[in-house]
């Protein structure tokens, strides 16, 4: 029937940072036409026990792409297979499948943002809200030889947390890293930030 | 004696179950029958048997219930897939416990899970699968209660 087959999307890959996972691919180009894409996934359970089952992605079946936020689909720490196809009116391409299944335990964990403030003599920290999967390991100490490092686990970002009452004239320093229980991994520590009760934030 | 405790994304599983509970329980045609609750013994499982019963119950759901369910609706399929893959991950975590011989199965534990299998077998398979899915909250609550504390795995 002479209808040109629609090429399948190519170069599928997943970018994942701080438990946000985005599937991307090279767009299929047909001059003056809008191409739609459908994304489907299979967890390890499906590939082991129900290999005929592919599940339409929550947000991208269909989408104009060429990317798809699959964060809400990747909900367990097991390998997930992902596939994409293109559609144009009644034309549908073959499926393209991600070469290697994606596991969320490979996500890149970045040191969290933090805001250190003083409320009188009180040292207050406010951490970046990265979502319910993230806990924060906060280390803080008084900057003097032999000072003891204190630690506090903060369960949720986005809310001010009191760390300690500072001594006048002494510099107090803080660093923080994230911990994600679902994948049992933590990020690197953030830069250390120090404050002095009567001064500004001191450079390192 | 070190216990075999598995850590899990309970919040996500409970969220997934809440998403399907009404739809699944509405399809349950045998309201006067229960699969997990017949084993009142589930609540009388001793700490020593928790690992074995957990292992057996995860296998029951992974090997039987989710497969027998055969769901077509994408919305429900996403939720059951989320739970099924989380159970698969928990099974792998328990596997490490077994390798450290922390997951011994005594007769009491074997009997408790046999009751569940026997009750499941008495129902038509799809009805049994739907009922078992509808009772996932019982299992999740039992797992959460018995696997709190520092994970040995």
CA-wise closest residue to A163 among A113, A172, A204: A172
> Quick check: bond before A151 cis, omega within 30?
no
b (16+ CB within 10 A) / e for A4-30: eebebbeebebebebbbbebbbebbee
- CB B54 within 8 Å of CB B146: yes
Query: How many CA within 13 A on the CB side of residue B119?
Result: 21
Alpha-carbon distance B103 to B98, whole Å? 5
Alpha-carbon distance B149 to B6, whole Å? 9
Mutate to test the interface with B, among A62, A77, A82 (most CBs of B within 10 A): A77
Can you read off the two tokens belonging to residue B23? 């739809």
Lookup result for tokens 């090279």? A26
CA-wise closest residue to B147 among B6, B49, B19: B6
Model confidence at B1: pLDDT above 80:
no
Alpha-carbon distance A97 to A51, whole Å? 14
Residues of B within an 8 Å Cβ radius of A: 7, 9, 11-12, 16, 62-63, 66-67, 74, 77-78, 81-82, 84-89
Measured between CA atoms, how close is A54 to chain B, in angstroms? Answer: 9
Whether residues A76 and B77 touch (CB distance < 8 A) is answered with no
pTM to 2 decimals?
0.90
Alpha-carbon distance B129 to B67, whole Å? 8
Model confidence at B33: pLDDT above 80:
yes
SS3 state of residue A186:
strand
The rounded mean pLDDT for chain B is 86
Q: Quick one: pLDDT at residue A2?
A: 44
Alpha-carbon distance B18 to B21, whole Å? 5
Along the 204 residues of chain A, how does pLDDT read in single tens digits? 445 689 999 999 999 999 999 999 999 999 999 999 999 999 999 999 999 999 999 999 999 989 999 999 999 999 999 999 999 999 999 999 999 999 999 999 999 999 999 999 999 999 999 999 999 999 999 999 999 999 999 999 999 999 999 988 899 999 999 999 999 999 999 999 999 887 555 555
The greatest distance separating any two alpha carbons of chain A, rounded to the nearest whole angstrom, comes to 84
Beta bridge partners of A142: A172
Alpha-carbon distance A99 to B23, whole Å? 35
Q: Quick one: pLDDT at residue B4?
A: 67
Question: What is the bridge-based pairing of β-strands A10-17 and A36-43?
Answer: unpaired
SS3 state of residue B61:
helix
Q: Quick one: pLDDT at residue A3?
A: 52
Ranking A175-189, B1-15, B85-99 by mean pLDDT, the lowest is: B1-15
- CB A74 within 8 Å of CB A14: no
- CB B51 within 8 Å of CB B113: no
Mutate to test the interface with A, among B88, B147, B150 (most CBs of A within 10 A): B88
SS3 state of residue A175:
strand
Whether residues A75 and B85 touch (CB distance < 8 A) is answered with yes
A59 shares contact with chain B (CB less than 8 Å)? no
Share of chain B above pLDDT 90, in %: 51
- CA A100 from chain center: how many Å? 19
Q: Which CA distances in Å does A55 have to A16, A45, A84, B21?
A: 20, 12, 12, 19
Would you say the C-alpha torsion A12, B71, B141, B54 has a positive or negative sign?
Answer: negative
A77 shares contact with chain B (CB less than 8 Å)? yes
Measured between CA atoms, how close is B17 to chain A, in angstroms? Answer: 13
Model confidence at B5: pLDDT above 70:
no
Alpha-carbon distance B28 to B114, whole Å? 22
SS3 state of residue A171:
strand
Q: Which residues on chain A are in Cβ contact (under 8 Å) with B74?
A: 55-56, 61
Q: Quick one: pLDDT at residue B150?
A: 40
Q: Is the ipTM of this complex over 0.90?
A: no
Give the pLDDT band (50/70/90) at residue B145.
confident
User: Taking CB atoms and an 8 Å cut-off, how many pairs form between chains A and B?
Assistant: 58
DSSP state of B123: S
Whether residues A78 and B85 touch (CB distance < 8 A) is answered with yes
- CB B47 within 8 Å of CB B54: no
CA-wise closest residue to A43 among B77, B105, B128: B77
Mutate to test the interface with A, among B79, B85, B148 (most CBs of A within 10 A): B85
User: Nearest chain B Cα to A50, which residue?
Assistant: B67
Q: Angle at Cα A178 formed by Cα A99 and Cα A160, nearest 5°? A: 140
Q: Quick one: pLDDT at residue B153?
A: 35
Measured between CA atoms, how close is A196 to chain B, in angstroms? Answer: 37
Taking only residues 27 to 46 of chain A, the set having a beta carbon closer than 8 angstroms to any beta carbon of chain B reads 43-46
Model confidence at B116: pLDDT above 80:
yes
Alpha-carbon distance B46 to B63, whole Å? 25
Q: Quick one: pLDDT at residue B90?
A: 93
Q: Quick one: pLDDT at residue B152?
A: 36
| Residue B100: other Cβ atoms inside 10 A | 11
Averaged over B63-81, what is the pLDDT? 92
């Amino acid at each position: 029937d002479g209808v040109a087959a629609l090429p399948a999307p190519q170069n599928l890959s997943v970018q994942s940072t701080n438990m946000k996972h985005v599937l991307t691919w090279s767009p299929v180009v047909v001059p003056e036409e809008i191409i739609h894409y459908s994304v489907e996934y299979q967890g390890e359970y499906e590939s082991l026990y129900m290999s005929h089952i592919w599940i339409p992605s929550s947000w991208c079946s269909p989408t104009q792409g060429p990317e798809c936020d699959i964060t809400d689909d990747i909900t367990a720490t097991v390998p997930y297979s992902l596939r994409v196809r293109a559609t144009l009116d009644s034309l549908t391409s073959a499926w393209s499948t991600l070469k290697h299944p994606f596991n969320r335990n490979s996500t890149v964990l970045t040191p969290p943002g933090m805001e250190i403030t003083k409320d009188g003599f009180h040292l207050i920290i406010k951490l970046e809200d990265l979502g319910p999967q993230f806990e924060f390991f906060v280390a803080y100490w008084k900057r003097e030889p032999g000072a003891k490092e204190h630690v506090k686990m903060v369960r949720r970002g986005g809310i001010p947390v009191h760390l300690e009452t500072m001594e006048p004239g002494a510099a107090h320093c803080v660093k923080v890293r994230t911990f994600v229980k679902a994948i049992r991994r933590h990020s690197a520590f953030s830069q250390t930030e120090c404050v002095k009760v009567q001064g500004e934030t001191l450079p390192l | 004696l070190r216990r075999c405790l598995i850590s899990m994304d309970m919040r996500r599983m409970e969220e997934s179950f809440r998403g399907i509970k009404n739809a699944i329980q509405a399809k349950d045609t045998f309201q006067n029958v229960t699969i997990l609750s017949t084993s009142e013994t589930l609540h009388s499982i001793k700490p020593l048997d928790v690992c074995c019963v957990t292992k057996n119950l995860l296998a029951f759901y992974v090997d039987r219930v989710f497969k027998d369910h055969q769901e077509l609706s994408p919305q429900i399929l996403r939720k059951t897939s989320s739970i099924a893959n989380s159970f698969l991950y928990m099974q792998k975590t328990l596997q490490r416990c077994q390798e450290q011989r922390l997951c011994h199965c005594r007769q009491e534990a074997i009997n408790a899970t046999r009751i569940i299998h026997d009750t499941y077998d008495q129902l038509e398979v799809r009805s049994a699968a739907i009922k078992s899915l509808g009772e996932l909250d019982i299992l999740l609550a039992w797992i959460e209660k018995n696997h709190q504390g520092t994970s040995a795995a």
